[in-house]
A and B are shown apart, each in its own frame.
Chain A
């Protein structure tokens, strides 16, 4: 190797749980060329690329890229502006609600380009990828090929020295695939010296690379130029070469797939018939007037890019989706959506087929057998037969995730076949499966079709598989472009290969659909202007990068009006409902009297209670049993028993006892009742004493209770200042809690891993829009409280606003901390609900003052931010206080901010582990 070294990989190993993804790989990759990693899915290509890109933590071994060790954070920060990484999966690193322009612009900001540089460079990139017409379209609404081109634009915005592409063309139609590689070639020609590292499962693409690494099972099989590999193995195609490179054991039993011609005694029965099928979702036509007929036992292939309508067509055929127009027939019977009988005759294997990872192979087969209603007695035999036929016998107790992909696909097929359906519908069953396993799979399909007469409807991306079908259809944008036998299609288009024939068909369709587009295409591809000198990647904090994330987050938030409305309107409604509904002035308590005396004195006593505003008298009690029963069923909060001879005893001055039973099931209510009853009893006594001793009717003294700060004891006035902190805790925390974990679950977190953005920039950037939203919420709540609910605001508004700002910074930080270490959105939602709802309602002094709490709850209450903001809110709302009086409550909030930020920084990982 004479060229300078791009990367040196030395004895690198990587394991996920028990799976060994990379098994001690050593490799030198030269700079300046286009190097390809070839091999099926799951052999370690993606893992290796993510290590080279610095996206994943290196477990074992040494990875040197661009002259430094990638395990060193300093080096990663320095070189990441020179690397561009496009992860696997269509548009996985894109933000679906952002437009094409905004997506590229975001990456430009992350890499520190200023506005002028960005707009010039984006214009150049859009022109050269022919995306300029779609600059305003949301990324989520692009076709697969366009998504990949957009991803490429995003990767190229900062003019990298190393471009890493992980399966960039998987799931893309043949035409877009071809265009994509032409684009890469053009870019390389314009920018000599850029190294490109590609992983692919399509061997025909690999033929155009400069240098190849064939990988299998976490190991390198061979390296060399395509020509070298062919020569070495003595094969004509890379597919064959790869198979020959495989170890003996894997190759064992491999032979070319031969599909016997369909038997001549074909009865011509039509198994599947689509008759002018059309499917519309709103104003979008997913499937447009599709017709075809498939005979029994035929293998019918379906080609087309992701999102072209294949899956929708398949769903209509199985009766899952009722067609907007047209009819689907199976064996001459019109498909009725929701007809269980149809489902029993059809086996379906979906694209990303979800075998249940939590069930073993046998349990998976068993579950499906039961769901399809096989007689329980026949199930074990059936499972054994399927295991035999699909070669799953040794794997019956294994978990599907632990199986190699090829075996998993066979299991999927076995599951789809468990109920012996007459029709098999297979949605891309072999994507990502290695050539040997793929051939094995097709032999089974051939067998099913020719021997058992099963009709097979299969979609695929592989041309060599398409060639094996009896007939194929090419679908594009909801329409079938061509449908015939493979040979006839090649002949009709006078093409050299099936691939060329399809590309020609697609080209026609595209030209026809987009006449004005030709104007744009007529413009010669503008050379992409080179990026300005790179901003140093080493700085720890750069405002522009933080603002890039802030802008991204606020754009996403703005595009989700439902969430915004819920946050703003919902909180106002909640404030009203809770403020209005929570009333601690206990009233309308029901009570009844067991009056065994029934004299004027006893009635006078009862009347005193009944006359107060707190109690409502219920029908009198007749017996102890009744007393017990009515207390037990919760009808009474208080029962008074007046003993026989009460009036007489009082008059004679003999000792007498009145019994009062309080329902203690609700202790706080019981306590209030006790206080009321005791007070009334004391007053009655004093009054009685006066009348007995013939004194004036006036009380001896009066106790005037003044409820300060809220003289009318209005519930809204008392509760609103407590509800605002509650709402500003829960809603902002819940908003931020999902912001990071969602990126983790959906994949765009990769942009954080491989761009120069630091943890602090990322966290603060994510936080800023939510702080703004929460402050908006704060203003709205305060305004509603004061102007609509008429809660008097007596203190210092600036103090309250300043505290509000600090508080929402704290609460959004709490959500971010949760988000930084959780791995699933469910756990984040649950964790946030636990972390906010319970302490805010119970430990923050909303009902019980924090000073009266005990144990761990008291500790939580004292440090919990809501406690302190509640003090400030009540002080400024009701007590006419200002900053001077409340400074003590500001301190805990001020301390919480750096603590939470540091915690978030600590828990957030800058690389995938």
Chain B
């Protein structure tokens, strides 16, 4: 295997991308504007959740509860009737509706343990769970405070001091910016290598390479390093200029360590691109395959929803995807400031996946060239 050949062929690939202006615009877009927009779009924690209150008690305690919801977490609650509640929720106007029954205060003081009903629109998945926890603690706080004053009893003087490590304000835009960098890396690596390979075959230029003393391994390695380099440089730029600079996301850990992880991830994804290209007979088929692969990679890697809450089987399957490990690694390094001592298992997993993908796609690539 000649490193010279790999170098030379890779340079040729780089020049090829340099001659497609539309492609360059798209690469730039996906690593700048797209990341910026996605990050800025993120709601800050629980934001402007819509809540309505059906107050059938109209007592001091019920108005106390109603007064406890205010922006920015909640929009100022509307007081509605029982009848309105159903229709408003059906129309999606309210995410939460709190129903305080008649005689709530009387029953409360009499120790009859009355019930407050909280209706949650479970189709608003994002806010439903977070919001219900908040509402629960707000209502409990108000009721307990009311009872304490009424009874004149001293409260149990235990404070819960909550501190969020690594991202104190739980700023979602930090997280979103990194996730979008990761999904851009994956998307680009697969498309650049895969689609370029199909184009070469559809235009017949790959054949020419075969008459020269270069091996398929060299051709493949040259594609991996050159396309990987483009994506690596673009993502490095994005992390430093867009994420750290423009979006002012504090990065705790070492960017070079992250880039090393990205490089491993790129080997795996570029191999995946080549693999898909050899499976797909034509560009339209590649387009279909691409969607079928990208979507689960993005949604189930742990970047969109936490891995813990996925069913065990999905968690296990997704362990075979490079994204899963890369997302873990990126979060550990960039947010938690973890070093190699902590993230080596992810590095090892990525290395293993990259190796397997490389071997598999090389095998397919060799038969593809016949």
Contact = CB atoms under 8 A, between A and B. Distances in A.
Contacts of B46: 671
20 contacts: A343-B212, A354-B203, A358-B12, A359-B12, A359-B15, A571-B292, A655-B159, A659-B161, A674-B162, A676-B133, A678-B136, A678-B162, A702-B115, A731-B288, A735-B284, A735-B288, A827-B20, A846-B125, A848-B42, A848-B126
Nearest to A601: B158
Nearest to A832: B287
A24 interface: no
A831 B328 CA distance: 28
Closest 9 CB pairs of A and B: A675-B133, A857-B41, A664-B167, A358-B15, A664-B164, A682-B140, A678-B137, A852-B43, A665-B335
A665 B12 contact: no
A661 B46 CA distance: 19
A633 B205 CA distance: 48
B111 A833 contact: no
Contacts of A699: 113
Interface string A394-416: 00000000000000000000000
B164 A670 contact: yes
Contacts of A668: 126, 130, 172, 175, 305-306
Interface stretch (A251-259, A344-352, A497-505, A520-528): A344-352
Contact of B159 (A586, A656, A855): A656
A707 interface: yes
B288 A371 contact: no
A682 B137 contact: yes
A667 B332 CA distance: 13
B2 A373 contact: yes
A330 B184 CA distance: 50
A491 interface: no
B244 interface: no
Given A343-B211, A685-B144, A838-B180, A663 B281 contact: no
A332 interface: no
B360 interface: no
B49 interface: yes
Nearest to A886: B91
B22 A824 contact: yes
Contact of A701 (B114, B134, B153, B188): B114
B5 interface: yes
B45 interface: yes
B162 A578 contact: no
Given A580-B311, A588-B309, A710 B5 contact: no
Contacts of A57: none
Interface string B137-164: 1011101100110010111111111111
B134 A857 contact: no
A677 B134 CA distance: 10
B187 interface: yes
Nearest to A347: B211
Given A586-B308, A731-B291, A580 B125 contact: no
A685 B162 contact: no
B166 interface: yes
B364 interface: no
A582 B304 contact: yes
B233 interface: no
A469 B176 CA distance: 68
Contacts of A142: none
B331 interface: yes
Nearest to A340: B213
Q: Which of B34, B204, B291, B311 has the most CB of A within 10 A?
A: B291
A277 B157 CA distance: 94
Which label, helix, strand, loop or mixed, suits the secondary structure of the B interface? Answer: helix
B134 A675 contact: yes
Interface stretch (B116-124, B261-269, B348-356): B116-124
Contacts of B305: 582-584, 668, 847
B19 A358 contact: yes
Contacts of B167: 664-665, 667, 670
Interface stretch (A67-75, A190-198, A482-490, A870-878): A870-878
B338 interface: yes
A653 B204 CA distance: 83
A784 interface: no
A372 to B, nearest CB: 6
A829 interface: yes
Contacts of A320: 210-211
Given A661-B164, A875-B90, 6 more contacts: A346-B211, A588-B308, A654-B157, A668-B305, A688-B156, A826-B199
A880 interface: yes
B304 A847 contact: yes
Contacts of B123: 709-710, 718, 721, 874, 878-879
Contacts of A308: none
A712 B237 CA distance: 45
A585 to B, nearest CB: 6
Contacts of B164: 661-664, 670, 674
B133 A679 contact: yes
A705 B20 contact: no
A18 interface: no
Interface stretch (A39-47, A236-244, A559-567): A559-567
Contacts of A683: 140
A440 to B, nearest CB: 24
B296 interface: yes
Contacts of A726: 295
Given A662-B162, A671-B130, A703 B118 contact: yes
Nearest to B281: A562
Contacts of B122: 707-711, 713, 718, 878
A280 to B, nearest CB: 13
A781 to B, nearest CB: 14
Nearest to A616: B308
A650 interface: yes
Given A354-B208, A709-B121, A709-B122, A861 B41 contact: yes
Interface in B296-319: 296, 298-300, 304-306, 308-311, 314, 318
